[in-house]
Amino acid sequence: MLPKIASETELRSLLSRLSGVDAVGVEARAAKLATRSIKKSSKMQAIDLAISMVDLTTLEGADTLGRVRSLCTKALRPDPFDSSVPAVAAVCVYPDLVAHARSVLGDSSVAVASVATAFPSGRASLAVKLLDVREAVASGADEIDMVIDRGAFLSGRLGQVFDEIVAVKAACGSAHLKVILETGELVTYDNVRRASWLAMLGGADFIKTSTGKVAVAATTPVALIMLEAVRDFAEATGEVIGVKVAGGIRTAKDAIRYLVLVNETVGSAWLTPQRFRFGASSLLNDLLMQRLKQQRGAYVRADEFSGD
Partner 1 sequence: MSKKRLEVRKTYKLLINGAFPRSESGRTYEVKTAKGAYWANIAQGSKKDVREAVYAARVAQPKWWAASAYNRGQVIYRLAEMAESRRDELTEHVQVAEGLKTKEAQAVVARSIDRIVWYAGWTDKITQVFGGANPVAGPFFNFSMPVPSGVIAVIAPQDSSLEGFVDAVLAPVTVGNSVVVLASERRPTPALLLGEMTATSDFPGGVFNIVTGITSELASTLATHEDVDGLDLEGAGAQAGELAVAGAATIKRVLRPAASDDSSLRRLRAFVETSTVWHTVGQ
- Least distance to partner 1 from the beta carbon of 250, Å? 12
Q: State the Cα–Cα distance between residues 209 and 38, nearest whole angstrom.
A: 24
Q: How crowded is residue 219: how many other Cβ atoms within 10 Å of its Cβ?
A: 19
Asked if residue 224 lies in contact with residue 30, where contact means CB atoms within 8 angstroms, the answer is yes
Answer yes or no whether residue 302 interacts with partner 1 by CB under 8 A.
yes
Answer yes or no whether residue 304 interacts with partner 1 by CB under 8 A.
yes
DSSP code of residue 276: E
Q: State the Cα–Cα distance between residues 141 and 56, nearest whole angstrom.
A: 14
> Quick one: which of 299, 305, 307, 308 contacts partner 1 (CB under 8 A)?
299
- Least distance to partner 1 from the beta carbon of 85, Å? 18
Strand partners, 206: 178, 242
Answer yes or no whether residue 40 interacts with partner 1 by CB under 8 A.
no
DSSP code of residue 90: E
Answer yes or no whether residue 82 interacts with partner 1 by CB under 8 A.
no
The residues that are catalytic are 145, 208, 244
Pattern 211-250, partner 1, x by CB under 8 A: ----------------------------------------
Of residues 16 and 35, the one with the C-beta less far from partner 1 = 35
By CB under 8 A, which span of 120-128, 146-154, 264-272, 299-307 interacts with partner 1?
A: 299-307
Q: State the Cα–Cα distance between residues 294 and 300, nearest whole angstrom.
A: 10
> Quick one: which of 1, 6, 127, 298 contacts partner 1 (CB under 8 A)?
298
- Continuous H helices in the chain: 8-16, 23-34, 40-52, 65-76, 98-105, 126-138, 150-154, 158-172, 189-202, 220-237, 252-265, 283-296
Of residues 61 and 297, the one with the C-beta less far from partner 1 = 297
Of residues 1 and 298, the one with the C-beta less far from partner 1 = 298
Positions in 278-297 near partner 1 (CB under 8 A): 297
Answer yes or no whether residue 253 interacts with partner 1 by CB under 8 A.
no
By CB under 8 A, which span of 90-98, 103-111, 240-248, 300-308 interacts with partner 1?
A: 300-308
* Largest Cα span, the chain: 60
Please give the size of the binding site for partner 1, defined by CB under 8 A: 7
Of residues 45 and 299, the one with the C-beta less far from partner 1 = 299
Positions in 121-140 near partner 1 (CB under 8 A): none
Answer yes or no whether residue 24 interacts with partner 1 by CB under 8 A.
no
Strand partners, 11: none
* SS3 at position 110: coil
- Least distance to partner 1 from the beta carbon of 288, Å? 13
Q: State the Cα–Cα distance between residues 57 and 55, nearest whole angstrom.
A: 6
Answer yes or no whether residue 10 interacts with partner 1 by CB under 8 A.
no
What phi and psi values does residue 249 have, to the nearest 5 degrees? Answer: -95, 105
Residues in the chain: 308
- Least distance to partner 1 from the beta carbon of 305, Å? 12
- Least distance to partner 1 from the beta carbon of 283, Å? 16
Answer yes or no whether residue 39 interacts with partner 1 by CB under 8 A.
no
- Least distance to partner 1 from the beta carbon of 303, Å? 8
Q: How crowded is residue 5: how many other Cβ atoms within 10 Å of its Cβ?
A: 18
Q: State the Cα–Cα distance between residues 65 and 45, nearest whole angstrom.
A: 33
DSSP code of residue 231: H
Residues that bind partner 1 (CB under 8 A): 297-302, 304
